[in-house]
Structure 1
Amino acid sequence: MPLQILPPAGAPRVLAVAQLSNSLGDGAYYVTSALYFTRVVGLSPTQIGLALTVAWAIGSVTGVPLGALADRKGPRGTAVLLALATGASVASFLFIRSFVPFLLAACLYAVAQCGLAAARQALLAGLVPPRARTGVLAHLQSTLNAGLAVGAALGGVALHHDTRGAYLAVFALDAASFLFCALVLLRLPAVPLAAARGKGEPRLAVLRDRPYAVVTALNAVLLLRMPLLSLAIPLWVVDRTNAPSWLVSALFVLNTLAVMAFQVRMARDVDGPRTATRAVRRSGLVMLASCAVFALSAAGLPVGATVAVLVAGAVLQVIAEMQQSAGSWQISFDLAPAHHVGQYQGFFGTGVPVARTLGPLLLTSLLVVWGVPGWLLLGVVLLGASLATGPAVRWAERARAQTTDAGRHDVRPPAASPHPRAGLCTPGRRRAPGPRG
């Protein structure tokens, strides 16, 4: 398993160490923050929910300009500054005693996190060859899950003590983890700055790229699997089945360990647009099967059979998750112009806060309230989004090819060239789909 988690030496491994650092702190933060803000600070659950909804909504619209900043100023320096800003926002939680400061700190945290994700993707794109990016991202995802698991265990220690000092220690750990992350990122080489914008080219070109926007929207639908695992399935198990409540924790551990062990293997064959769209399409089929199996768990089976059905549903769900992740990573890079990777990754990453913001209400209404028909409808919706991804990607490729061809027609061949088309073929020619070096 360690060989599956650790990426190759060099820039990928440095990125993994940075990922491990802040995911460890985040794992402890995630399992303790709600209790800290309610029990110690005295905020109501409604206040916390409102602040986080506002914060992630703001974060979702700042990822693009911060990604564009990484393109213009360099992704390494931008990532370092945003890691420091994230650490500062977490450290500020140590001193918060009322709602308004909490709202402001939460907004800073969400903005910095969304920007950091975009800058890191741009940094990876500048340091890792295109063909190897999805494999490296799979390693980073495994590292992320390992850090979250260890961090959650540390957070469990704080929950056991249930004291103000224990909670504050967790926040200090999380803040320090982002400081260490910034120091680790400084070990990476600087990435050459992107080329200057062409004449008439918009500053935020991604906002005018309709095919990429459609791909991003479809990916946001598929990312509903995130609140499905963290919120909807636990509520379903407790409210709609006769399974023991401890199974909720067991299913979460199963998901974490599966991603740690098998994400790299799942991503091994994804190396271009065709293989990526196939992976996403397969994920939709598996997700439909998972939803049907979860729906079956409410059929009043014996407890042992219900547990087995829920475990089977969780196994199918994590297989779909790993396939969808690998495919979406590859697609997001393949469709992004080399000089706009930061802003394109910032835009593609908006699917995460959108799913976090809209998913809880949507899924609880669909599954916990509506029940079995809701599971079946969710499966059909996710399958539809996965099947639509292929045509959307091909549309984006055609649009990119047309843009490239238009740019070529503006370039006159050298007068001394014996062949009229010499000089036009190599510099801007679009490569055939498939493995890329």
Structure 2
Amino acid sequence: MTNSLVPPAGPQRVLALAQLSNSVGDGAYYVTSALYFTHVVGLAPARVGLGLTVGWAVGSVVGVPLGRLADRRGARGTAVLLALATGLAVASFLVVRDFVPFVLAACAYASAQSGLAAARQALLAGLVSAGERTGLLAHLQATLNAGLAVGAGLGGLALHAGTRAAYLGVFAVDAVSFLVCAGLLLRLPPVTPRAAGVSRRYGSGVLRDRPYAVITLLNTVLLLRMPLLSLGIPLWIAERTAAPTWLVSVLFVLNTGAVMVFQVRMARGVTGLASATRAVRRSGWVMLAACAVFAL
């Protein structure tokens, strides 16, 4: 079943649909947010970058206790609440007009997003057998990128219009997409909470696993591809070139579409630790080459 483009019916498909629903809104948000906050709200690009950096730094820290909360209080209920919180945080961008509210909204958005990602991992671990998880993760990543591509196309329409109303419509769509995500997550069966003592031992055990901690740290560097796509390239196109702003959407659709097409196919070769290590190593070199091209 993992070779199918659609996950099997049941929890796997519901998780994929939930991923798809909010990724459509996120795709529109990613391609428009940088230009909205700089061109419409009037924040300096450096301040937008600083605010997003602070937001995601806070989110990466807050995501740990929120993930532990999902273990102890139940992954489904926690995921639903965090999806609603993310939608509320996105909606708060509708009224942001200054730097400090922008930073606070960015922190709330990143924290809720990080916690939601952790709660989804707990749901996956509790509802899907170990042998099916790699295939489902590939499906979820492909689904994520399919939604991002569709959302980026919608964001391109807002970029072409270039009006405040068009940009605000994007944020409204993103907020609603998380409400839909919460409704879909409610359809999943509950996951038995992990005992408090087990959760603490598990968390401390991860921190003591130095190779895993190092790999996680290195992976955060690789994750810089997202602000490159959603912040660096849009601002560069708008400020340093004569290209139309909707080109931001085209590039984002191209990126996410390529991942959507090849993600599941590439994951089929990952069958154990050795093959996973090789895949990560190859991906790192490819990303290094891509970033070198961007720099030139």
State the TM-score, normalized to the length of structure 2: 0.85
Q: Quickly say closer, same or farther: Cα 1:191–1:159, change in 2 above 3 A.
A: same
Aligned equivalents of 1:152, 1:91: Cα separation in 2: 18
Matched letter for residue 88 of structure 1: L
SS of corresponding position for 1:42: coil
Give a deviation string over 1:114-145, Cα, whole Å, max 9, x none: 11111111111111111111111111111111
Aligned equivalents of 1:269, 1:250: Cα separation in 2: 30
Q: What displacement does 1:254 show?
A: 3.7
Aligned equivalents of 1:229, 1:166: Cα separation in 2: 21
Matched letter for residue 32 of structure 1: T
2:157 paired residue number: 157
2:131 paired residue number: 131
Matched letter for residue 27 of structure 1: G
Q: Quickly say closer, same or farther: Cα 1:72–1:208, change in 2 above 3 A.
A: same
Give a deviation string over 1:300-340, Cα, whole Å, max 9, x none: xxxxxxxxxxxxxxxxxxxxxxxxxxxxxxxxxxxxxxxxx
Aligned equivalents of 1:71, 1:199: Cα separation in 2: 7
Q: What displacement does 1:155 show?
A: 1.3
Does 2:188 correspond to 1:175? no
2:122 paired residue number: 122
Aligned equivalents of 2:159, 2:269: Cα separation in 1: 41
Query: Does the 8 A contact of 1:54 with 1:107 survive in 2?
Result: yes
User: Size of the alignment, in residue pairs?
Assistant: 292
Does 2:214 correspond to 1:214? yes
1:58 paired residue number: 58
Q: Quickly say closer, same or farther: Cα 1:164–1:248, change in 2 above 3 A.
A: closer
1:112 paired residue number: 112
SS of corresponding position for 2:197: coil
Matched letter for residue 123 of structure 1: L
Aligned equivalents of 1:99, 1:285: Cα separation in 2: 37
Matched letter for residue 212 of structure 1: Y
Does 2:85 correspond to 1:85? yes
Does 2:36 correspond to 1:27? no
Query: Does the 8 A contact of 2:31 with 2:252 survive in 1?
Result: no
Give a deviation string over 1:344-380, Cα, whole Å, max 9, x none: xxxxxxxxxxxxxxxxxxxxxxx73xx5xxxxxxxxx
Question: Unaligned stretches of 5+ in structure 1?
Answer: 239-244, 296-366, 372-437
Q: What displacement does 1:55 show?
A: 0.8
Aligned equivalents of 1:257, 1:206: Cα separation in 2: 34
Matched letter for residue 84 of structure 1: L
Does 2:32 correspond to 1:40? no
SS of corresponding position for 1:191: coil
More helix by share: 2
Query: Does the 8 A contact of 1:138 with 1:264 survive in 2?
Result: yes
Query: Does the 8 A contact of 2:29 with 2:155 survive in 1?
Result: yes
1:410 paired residue number: none
Q: Quickly say closer, same or farther: Cα 1:204–1:70, change in 2 above 3 A.
A: farther
2:197 paired residue number: 197
2:241 paired residue number: none
Query: Does the 8 A contact of 1:4 with 1:261 survive in 2?
Result: no
Matched letter for residue 151 of structure 1: G
Aligned equivalents of 1:96, 1:250: Cα separation in 2: 27
Query: Does the 8 A contact of 2:63 with 2:114 survive in 1?
Result: yes
SS of corresponding position for 1:197: helix
1:9 paired residue number: 9
Q: What displacement does 1:285 show?
A: 5.4
Query: Does the 8 A contact of 2:82 with 2:115 survive in 1?
Result: yes
Query: Does the 8 A contact of 1:5 with 1:143 survive in 2?
Result: no
Map 1:8-407; keep pairs closer than 5 Å. 8-197=8-197, 201=201, 204-226=204-226, 252-284=252-284, 290=289, 368=295
**Higher RCO, 1 vs 2 (CA within 8 Å, ≥6 residues apart):** 2
Q: What displacement does 1:4 show?
A: 5.1
Matched letter for residue 104 of structure 1: L
Q: What displacement does 1:273 show?
A: 1.8
Aligned equivalents of 1:184, 1:167: Cα separation in 2: 26
Give a deviation string over 1:276-315, Cα, whole Å, max 9, x none: 1232234345556x459x66xxxxxxxxxxxxxxxxxxxx
State the TM-score, normalized to the length of structure 1: 0.59
Aligned equivalents of 1:256, 1:122: Cα separation in 2: 25
Map 1:388-427; keep pairs closer than 5 Å. none
Q: Quickly say closer, same or farther: Cα 1:4–1:159, change in 2 above 3 A.
A: farther
Q: What displacement does 1:193 show?
A: 1.3
Q: Quickly say closer, same or farther: Cα 1:26–1:80, change in 2 above 3 A.
A: same
Q: Quickly say closer, same or farther: Cα 1:176–1:285, change in 2 above 3 A.
A: closer
Query: Does the 8 A contact of 1:270 with 1:276 survive in 2?
Result: yes
Matched letter for residue 280 of structure 1: V
Query: Does the 8 A contact of 2:32 with 2:155 survive in 1?
Result: yes
* Identical residues among aligned pairs (%): 71
Aligned equivalents of 2:62, 2:153: Cα separation in 1: 32
Q: Quickly say closer, same or farther: Cα 1:56–1:10, change in 2 above 3 A.
A: same
Query: Does the 8 A contact of 2:24 with 2:150 survive in 1?
Result: yes
Query: Does the 8 A contact of 2:84 with 2:178 survive in 1?
Result: yes
Query: Does the 8 A contact of 1:68 with 1:204 survive in 2?
Result: no
Q: Quickly say closer, same or farther: Cα 1:121–1:235, change in 2 above 3 A.
A: same
Aligned equivalents of 2:251, 2:198: Cα separation in 1: 51
Q: What displacement does 1:216 show?
A: 1.1
Query: Does the 8 A contact of 2:156 with 2:249 survive in 1?
Result: no
Higher mean C-alpha displacement, 13-22 vs 152-161: 152-161
